[in-house]
Amino acid sequence: MTKYESRYGVDARIDPDASVDSPDRKFPDIDYEAKIFDDQEKYFSEEYRKQEWDRLWTKIWHIAGRVSDLDKAGDYFTYELGAESFIVTRTGDGDIKAYYNVCHHRGNRLVHDNYGNVKSFVCSFHSWTWNLDGSLKKITDRETFDEDLVCDNPALTEVRCDLWGGFIFISMNDDVEPLIDFLGELPAVLQNYNMDDMILVSDVETDWPVNWKTVLDAFMEGYHAHITHPELLTMIDDFHFQHDVFSNGHSRMHIPMGLVSPRKSDRGKLSDEMREIIESIGMDASQYEGKASDIRADIPAAKRKWAKKYGNDYGHFTDSQLSDDWNVNIFPNITFNMHPEAVLVMRFRPHATDPERCLYDFWVLARKVSDPNYYLPAYMGVPKEADLSGNAPRSERTYGKWGEVSFGPVVDQDAATVPFVQKGLRSRAFKGARYSQQEMRLTHFYIEYDRYLKGE
């Protein structure tokens, strides 16, 4: 399909003159054939849930957690995915390893809590014990076992583990491609953000009454902003996103901020939300003489100055990275909303048994700043008094159910919508999803998803 022309006469590209190695550049679109995605059972059927487990989740790389949670030898955390649980730990040699969280004696979960520090992993049932490197340390009363049953000295079953951006990725697939190949274009495109160096300042895990893809879909397009998030229209241009699709199902959309939606007739007045944004980066909203629709052009210089005041050099970021929100999908289940000062990470995990439930994880990673007067712009949802120095203990994880925890107005609006979508997907009258070019990331995602489910 030919690319539509903006009815507002605006070029949606970040920078039409971007060089071939600039992260701002427009990547080539893929000319997917127009089709209705009429396999909506994938959002609720048990058969799809099983197929996803066998052909997607057990085959691919996924993010288990952050390297910063494994500071010293013996630190560990557990990571649950579907019916599996994994222990991710730092060994005495300083390596990071990941194991299935299961005891080889009678199948007890070896570790029951979410994180901690141990010298060895001791099973709570009959005290079989493993070293941090996964080797067997002790079988209690070994002489009471027929030696044939234990002569293999079973080590913990290891899974593949690799690092990028301060994240620990694991894969249950021994033949999985190297992580760096799987990530494709992303490391180069996102290099400026240097997420290795960011600290975890918010960590929330919630249980939602929808399929993991029903909620993920809502975070992969901006087409719904004008009706679901009307207050955003005074601070973003919701119609002119640059959408980029990458290899292996990954994608990006850039959300231009510091603009007023062309859908709005009044484009001059600064909204309270816009005032708050520019005040938080050291601009004086009361002295601002331009129109609200012009602020984006002024943000990069202001943000560089603001960062410098607090000891950070933002010189290497492009103007768009400073003013805009780069929304990235690491296929299948991670999204980033990226700013130089902080990244919001969302992770969508399938429920162990119910295809109409999922786990929605919400993390904020922040760049370190020790000045107590510094705070993050309101769109990150981090309290102004949060300690961002990197010296405070990591933020405690909080848990909740859908509807009990607030993620701020925008995500709460999405949360209110998606259970209705989940219900509607089951209707006999619903004949499948039709995606616009504003939803091209969904087309790209589901083409890749289908490849996995067909076992290609």
Residues between 376 and 415 that touch ligand FES (CB under 6 A): none
105: partner contacted, choices ligand FES, Fe ion, none (Cβ within 5-8 A by kind)? ligand FES
Residue from the set 56, 123, 260, 364 that interacts with ligand FES by CB under 6 A? 123
Name the segment binding ligand FES (CB under 6 A); options: 8-16, 119-127, 321-329, 402-410. Answer: 119-127
Q: Which CB sits closer to ligand FES, 109 or 451?
A: 109
Q: Which CB sits closer to ligand FES, 57 or 128?
A: 128
Q: How far is the CB of 88 from ligand FES (least distance, A)?
A: 20
Sheet order of strands, 251-255 included: 242-245, 251-255, 325-330, 334-338, 342-350, 358-367, 198-208, 398-401
Residue from the set 44, 86, 128, 362 that interacts with ligand FES by CB under 6 A? 128
Determine the residue type at 25: R
3-state secondary structure of 321: helix
Q: How far is the CB of 294 from Fe ion (least distance, A)?
A: 26
> Is residue 103 within the footprint of ligand FES (CB under 6 A)?
yes
Q: Rounded to an integer, what distance in angstroms lies between the CA atom of residue 430 and that of residue 44?
A: 14
Q: Which CB sits closer to ligand FES, 123 or 433?
A: 123
Residue from the set 105, 243, 250, 349 that interacts with ligand FES by CB under 6 A? 105
Tokens of 111: 């570790």
- 336 contacts 345 by C-beta, under 8 angstroms: yes
Q: Rounded to an integer, what distance in angstroms lies between the CA atom of residue 51 and that of residue 61?
A: 17
Name the segment binding ligand FES (CB under 6 A); options: 22-30, 39-47, 80-88, 122-130. Answer: 122-130
DSSP string, 223-260: TTHHHH-GGGGGTB-SS--EEEE-GGG-EEEEE-BSS-
414: partner contacted, choices ligand FES, Fe ion, none (Cβ within 5-8 A by kind)? Fe ion
Closest C-alpha among 131, 133, 197, 128 to residue 161 = 133
Q: Which CB sits closer to Fe ion, 319 or 414?
A: 414
Instruction: State how far the alpha carbon of 356 is from the alpha carbons of 48, 102, 134, 143, 326, in Å.
Output: 11, 26, 35, 48, 29
Instruction: State how far the alpha carbon of 148 is from the alpha carbons of 131, 135, 142, 415, in Å.
Output: 22, 18, 11, 54
Instruction: Classify the phi-psi angles of 77: left when phi > 0, otherwise alpha if psi is within -120 to 50, otherwise beta.
Output: beta
Q: Which CB sits closer to ligand FES, 149 or 416?
A: 149
- HSE at residue 105, side-chain half, CA atoms within 13 A, is 19
Residues between 366 and 425 that touch Fe ion (CB under 5 A): 414
Cβ contacts of residue 313 below 8 Å, gap of 6+? 307
Q: Which CB sits closer to Fe ion, 39 or 414?
A: 414
Q: Rounded to an integer, what distance in angstroms lies between the CA atom of residue 333 and that of residue 330?
A: 7
Residue from the set 126, 305, 401, 423 that interacts with ligand FES by CB under 6 A? 126
Q: How many residues bind Fe ion (CB under 5 A)?
A: 1
Residue from the set 4, 8, 125, 145 that interacts with ligand FES by CB under 6 A? 125
Binding-site string for ligand FES from residue 45 to residue 84, where x marks contact by CB under 6 A and - marks none: ----------------------------------------
Cα pseudo-dihedral 197, 63, 172, 138, rounded to 10: 60
User: What angle is formed at CA 397 by the lines to CA 396 and CA 401, rounded to 5 degrees?
Assistant: 145
Q: Which CB sits closer to Fe ion, 252 or 367?
A: 252
Residue from the set 3, 106, 269, 291 that interacts with ligand FES by CB under 6 A? 106
128: partner contacted, choices Fe ion, ligand FES, none (Cβ within 5-8 A by kind)? ligand FES
Q: How far is the CB of 74 from ligand FES (least distance, A)?
A: 20
- 386 contacts 76 by C-beta, under 8 angstroms: no
Kindly list the residues in this chain that would bind ligand FES in the complex (CB under 6 A): 103, 105-106, 108, 123, 125-128
Kindly list the residues in this chain that would bind Fe ion in the complex (CB under 5 A): 414
